[in-house]
Amino acid sequence: MTAPSPRSHADPGPLHPRHRARPAGLAEPAALEPKTSRSTALELTAARSAALGLSAARAARRAAPGLIATRSVALGLIAALGLTGCSRDPAPSPAEPIPTPTEPAEPAPEAACRDWSTLDTTQLAPLTEARFGEHAPLLDAVWRRVLEKHYDPTLGCLDWGAKREQYARMLVETATDAQAYAVIAALLRELGQSHLRLYPPSRTPDVPGPTAPDLTVRWVEDQLVVVRSRADGPQGPVLPGSVLHAIDDHPVQPWVDEVRGRAEPHAFPREVARAAAVRLSCERDDPSRKLKVTNPAKDGRMAVRVVPCIEPEGERVTLGNLRGIPTRVEHRALGGEVGLLAFNVWMLPMVKQVQAGMETLRAEGMRALVLDLRGNPGGVGAMSVPVARMLLSKEASLGTLRFRDFEQHLNVEPGDDPFTGPVAVLVDESTASTSEIFVVGLRDHGRITVVGARPSAGAALPSVIEQVPGGALLQTVVADYHSPEGTVVEGEGIVPDVVVTETQADFEAGRDPVLEAARAHLVQVLAEPPAEPLAEPLAELLDGPDGTPAHDEPPALGVPPAEPAHDEPPVAPPAR
């Protein structure tokens, strides 16, 4: 474990309006409803960055993260959990090369950025199938939806009109649906933001199936390591700490190299773990997976394990287009008056379970809390408010959302009986979207300490999903986000305050180094003596016995007034 790492804050005065810090401020979930939206609002969190191989110019146009704030249910889970028939952008086939767009030019100076909301689209030349192919209407619909809904009317200073013609010409060179969808996906990647994606109407091999072996694989020490496993089969169990080498006799190295070639370095651990999850997943009529792994129980020798595919555990929740989402809430004591609370997604019906877990831990004597959000890809943003209330004794804000025509302040009223003890939140490369909004908002207020081995996903822009011609679904960014202190998360992730080194040997030995580090940190905090109260009343230090000033000179700047600014005692009451 290394020393706490510095936090990254936004520059306080960048030129572009999407990067300006704004006053923060959501009192109740209902306050998240913008009155100007008629679309079904969904927050789709894929555990990956949206842009692949961005140039420095495109990376500079990334916006800060967001939290869904519209009238309908938010969706953060389609790509991350593979729960619908829609898929991520289809992966190109080696036998079908897909046209590659030219690298976008450097954006024009701020003063030259065009406001595309003023464009008269009735004057545009039609994109006809006769000229550009059968997918031209789809590209045109995608182009127009982004034009109409994106929060930034300059669209990152891109020449959006020229992009329409450029990508339409590229459609002429495509021969398959997959190639055409890849061209449209490349158009969306021009904006260099998360939560901009086109989902084909039918499921493709690039989205997880409904079942999978009961294990989790992550990228640790440059290899795919099984970090959690309850998978067992005729040849024996797959043990934690095993290294994955092949799935159904297909070596992992070729697709690991493919992911490395297309993913940005900071996104690679998340992308390769997701690629492993896709390949490990099964269809309902596919009962098992054959895995080739090293066997920690046999000195790391190769072993073959055939393990069953099962449906994920958890109570199924359906909200709007989110159907049958498996939800899990865990709580347990860790010892040393430290409790653990974890949940896998953000869905409003889970609030009562989270509340019950908190109450149970407090009743058992918890004085410090570990909140585990590792692997939590997001979900319904409104859930972040009642959960934040459980930890805040004062009114606070999780940040500000900026739509094209209005702003939403994510104000949180204090809880009736909040937990006031120290809190450590665990993150990893798959902590995304609503999870990131919650974490960065509370950290900006100094309420939590973030512990992890890597930064979070850095993908949390608010978005809506709508159907477009041909039955596909288009996810469109509709708002920008700034944390209370202007901390940048989109494209960067949340850098842990306490960075922990993970090794394959840790998992082989049954250790969870990040959780152990968080518990040790909280035990140390609990052992620190509370702040000493002032020996004399503050008023007597400032004034003489007769009420006259005790000093001839005015007090220095920063000296508090004689009367307390609030009714709280100088020493905080014990955490409950």
- Residue 447: which pLDDT band, with cuts at 50, 70 and 90? very high
CA–CA separation, 62 vs 410, rounded Å? 21
Q: What's the CATH number where 451 sits? A: 3.90.226.10
Distance from first CA to last CA of the chain, Å, rounded? Answer: 29
Phi, psi of 516 (to 5 degrees): -60, -40
Residue 534 lies in a domain: no
Residues 287 and 344 in one domain: no
Beta strand 329-335 with 338-343 is antiparallel
- Residue 535: which pLDDT band, with cuts at 50, 70 and 90? low
What is the dihedral sign for C-alpha 371, 376, 382, 383? negative
CA–CA separation, 21 vs 32, rounded Å? 20
Residues 224 and 258 in one domain: yes
Confidence at residue 354, expressed as pLDDT on a 0 to 100 scale:
97
Residues 164 and 246 in one domain: no
Which residues make Cβ contacts (< 8 Å) with residue 385, sequence separation at least 6?
26, 27, 28, 29, 32, 398, 410, 412
Q: Which of 308, 337, 365 is the last residue of a domain?
A: 308
Region 430-450 average pLDDT = 95
- Residue 286: which pLDDT band, with cuts at 50, 70 and 90? confident
| DSSP-assigned beta bridge partners for residue 316 | 326
Could you tell me which residue, 558 or 313, shows the higher pLDDT? 313
121, HSE (Cβ side, Cα atoms, 13 Å): 13
The C-alpha angle with vertex 465 and arms to 398 and 15, in degrees rounded to 5, equals 50
- Residue 279: which pLDDT band, with cuts at 50, 70 and 90? very high
Residues 507 and 370 in one domain: yes
Region 565-572 average pLDDT = 37
Confidence at residue 195, expressed as pLDDT on a 0 to 100 scale:
84
Residue 283 lies in a domain: yes
Query: Which amino acid is located at 341 in the chain?
Result: L
Residues 413 and 518 in one domain: yes
Is the pLDDT score of 28 beyond 70?
A: no
Confidence at residue 471, expressed as pLDDT on a 0 to 100 scale:
86
Confidence at residue 45, expressed as pLDDT on a 0 to 100 scale:
33
Name the token pair of 295: 């066997």
Confidence at residue 143, expressed as pLDDT on a 0 to 100 scale:
97
Q: What's the CATH number where 291 sits? A: 2.30.42.10
- Residue 54: which pLDDT band, with cuts at 50, 70 and 90? very low
Region 230-236 average pLDDT = 96
Q: Which of 149, 175, 199 is the last residue of a domain?
A: 199
CA–CA separation, 185 vs 191, rounded Å? 11
Confidence at residue 541, expressed as pLDDT on a 0 to 100 scale:
45
Q: Which of 265, 285, 308 is the last residue of a domain?
A: 308
Give pLDDT tens digits for 56-94: 333 333 333 333 333 333 434 444 444 333 333 434 443
Residue 152 lies in a domain: yes
Nearest to 462 by CA among 30, 57, 32, 154: 32
Nearest to 438 by CA among 402, 399, 479, 495: 399
Percent share of the chain, pLDDT over 90: 57
Name the token pair of 434: 């609503």
Q: Long-range contacts of range 572-575, CB-CB < 8 Å, 24 or more positions apart?
A: 572/420, 572/530, 573/420, 574/367, 575/366, 575/367, 575/368, 575/419, 575/420, 575/421, 575/422
Nearest to 404 by CA among 469, 478, 322: 478
Confidence at residue 319, expressed as pLDDT on a 0 to 100 scale:
73
Region 557-563 average pLDDT = 38
Confidence at residue 157, expressed as pLDDT on a 0 to 100 scale:
95
Check: CB of residue 117 under 8 Å from CB of residue 153: yes
What is the average pLDDT score of the chain?
78
Residue 155 lies in a domain: yes
Residues 134 and 247 in one domain: no
Residue 132 lies in a domain: yes
Is the pLDDT score of 158 beyond 90?
A: yes
Give pLDDT tens digits for 190-225: 998 888 889 888 766 667 888 999 999 999 999 999
Region 272-285 average pLDDT = 93
Domain count, the chain: 3
Grouping H, G, I as helix, E, B as strand and the rest as coil, residue 4 is coil
CA–CA separation, 361 vs 339, rounded Å? 6
Is the pLDDT score of 263 beyond 60?
A: yes
Residues 177 and 95 in one domain: yes
Nearest to 244 by CA among 279, 205, 195, 212: 279
CA–CA separation, 436 vs 438, rounded Å? 5
Confidence at residue 82, expressed as pLDDT on a 0 to 100 scale:
42
pTM above 0.75, yes or no: no
Confidence at residue 199, expressed as pLDDT on a 0 to 100 scale:
84
Is the pLDDT score of 180 beyond 80?
A: yes
Residues 70 and 193 in one domain: yes
Residues 378 and 404 in one domain: yes
Residues 74 and 145 in one domain: yes
Query: Which amino acid is located at 164 in the chain?
Result: R
Could you tell me which residue, 43 or 144, shows the higher pLDDT? 144
CA–CA separation, 318 vs 84, rounded Å? 12
Kindly report which listed range (95-99, 136-140, 329-333, 450-454) carries the lowest average pLDDT score.
95-99
CA–CA separation, 66 vs 86, rounded Å? 23
Residues 128 and 246 in one domain: no
Domain that holds residue 406: 323-467+478-527
**C-alpha 309 chain-centroid distance:** 27
- Residue 443: which pLDDT band, with cuts at 50, 70 and 90? very high
Tell me the C-alpha to C-alpha distance, in Å, between residue 471 and each of 198, 305, 381. Answer: 11, 40, 26
Residue 574 lies in a domain: no
Residue matched to tokens 């070639």: 261
Region 478-503 average pLDDT = 92
Kindly report which listed range (317-321, 393-397, 555-559) carries the lowest average pLDDT score.
555-559
Confidence at residue 456, expressed as pLDDT on a 0 to 100 scale:
96
Residues 157 and 81 in one domain: yes
Residue 237 lies in a domain: yes
Residue 520 lies in a domain: yes
